[in-house]
Amino acid sequence: MHIHFIGINGVSMQWIAEYCRYRGHKVSGSDSALGGHAAENVDGADLVIYTSAISENNVELIAAKEKGIPVLSRAEALGKIGKEFTSLIAVAGTHGKTTVTGMLSSVLKNYDPALHIGGTLKGKCGKVNGDILIAEACEYRRNFLYLEPDISIILNIELDHTDFYKTYSSLLSSFARFASRSKTAVVPDSFAAILRAKRNGRQVTVGPHGDFALIDFMPDKTGSDICIKTPSCIFRARLNVIGKHNAQNAVYAVAAAMEYGAQEDEIREGLASFEGVDRRLQTVGKIKGVPVISDYAHHPTEIRASLDALRLSGYSRPLVVFQPHTYERLESLMRDSIYALLGVNSIILPVFHARGRAGNLTSWDLAHAITLRTGDSVAADFSRAAELITSNASRYDCIVIMGAGDNEKLIPLICDPFPKA
């Protein structure tokens, strides 16, 4: 079968395309970042899979429908693929799902997991072959409702995709429907009653009053020693990723792994060997001896968690170079973004216009609002930001390039070149 992918450059689309190749199908694809789209690209295709990032008037999508070629959204395709594995573990939540998905792949490595992940691990976009599938499940446009997990995990529920979810109740309803599609749901204890009302299967809770809870957290510069209460034991482990948020992530990974049937020693070894996800507080170089750290945080809750993790690791004077992600998110989360960045010096890059409409608020508005509240922030394009970082790096103990857009292109402009061998 010849399968054509519209928007093949996305991480999830790359994984699905690679899975289709692995299963013996011919694969082709197009993307705005790879020369654009043309109607003739779908010629000869038996199936077209498209990303939800494209519009309904995409020329290839229109051509496929006119030619009678079957079409599937990325989410529909992933749902069908999930049924081809003996077990599916799906990780959802507003924050932390990429990390927990990667963490679970390490914890359950003895069970031959395939891995569908929304980021990269040491530059690799997951793994397509295996007996079970561990998959990141995105709530955007209710895409996760195409999955039917054996074990579902909900880490947290906050408004984020405000271009789609207009109310918190609509978001909560979608997560409840997601939990109802699984045999076992691992959920925050704070949402347990709401989610249980929508489901009949087994429910495992995480939190201070839950079945699993973080009861001790001892951080250091490279990670932490943690202690978790479980229904059967007090579980101790070592994490080699920094931050209390990652210790909380580990509780969910432990809960899901124990539900799956993994042994304590396997879980402990997997947590200790997990080295983190790319662009999650990842040191990518230095400038004048000062570490440059890449971080994916783009929601106020994530910004606060990352900054707390850096402080616990001994970084007291970070310079945060933040790129707002979409105008809708900047507008709807403006107040929380201001206060998340108020305690650090910051440079605000231009908004990453991933989708949706241009807005009335800009990066200048965010920087100005922070400064008015006795913060120290300035808006700058990439070139000016590089100049500011280069001339002021020695004032800080780390430079954090933060956001989910294309801000990584700033890194080669500021980092010292690697020494020649």
Q: How far apart are CA 9 and CA 6, in angstroms?
A: 9
Q: Which amino acid is at 67?
A: K
Do residues 211 and 204 make contact, with C-beta atoms less than 8 angstroms apart? yes
CA 375/CA 353 separation, integer angstroms? 25
**How far from the centroid of its chain's Cα atoms is residue 238's Cα?**
23
**CA–CA distance, 350 with 78 (Å, rounded to integer):** 33
pLDDT in 10s for each residue of the chain, 421 residues: 999 999 999 999 999 999 999 999 999 999 988 999 999 999 999 999 999 889 899 999 999 999 999 999 999 999 999 999 999 999 999 999 999 999 999 999 999 999 999 988 888 889 999 999 999 999 988 999 999 999 999 999 987 766 778 898 899 999 999 999 999 999 999 988 888 766 678 999 999 999 999 999 999 989 999 999 999 999 999 999 999 999 999 999 999 999 999 999 999 999 999 999 999 999 999 999 999 999 999 999 999 999 999 999 999 999 999 999 999 989 999 999 999 999 999 999 999 986 667 778 999 999 999 999 988 999 999 999 999 999 999 999 999 999 999 999 999 999 987 554 4
Contact between 30 and 141 under an 8 Å Cβ cutoff? The reply is no
Q: Are 78 and 116 in contact (CB under 8 A)?
A: yes
Neighbours of 373 (CB within 10 A): 12
Q: How far is CA 28 from CA 16, 32, 163, in A?
A: 12, 14, 30
Q: What is the pTM of this model?
A: 0.91
Q: Say which residues have a Cβ less than 8 Å from residue 417's Cβ, sequence separation at least 6.
A: none
Helix/strand/coil for 280: coil
Q: How far apart are CA 23 and CA 379, in angstroms?
A: 48
Contact 309, 222 (CB under 8 A): no
Please, what are the domains in the chain? Answer: 2-74 (3.40.50.720), 85-273 (3.40.1190.10), 282-414 (3.90.190.20)
Residue 263 makes CB contacts below 8 A (sequence gap 6+) with none
* Cross-sheet strand order for the sheet of 87-92: 113-116, 132-136, 87-92, 151-154, 184-188, 202-206
Q: H or E stretch including 175?
A: helix 168-180
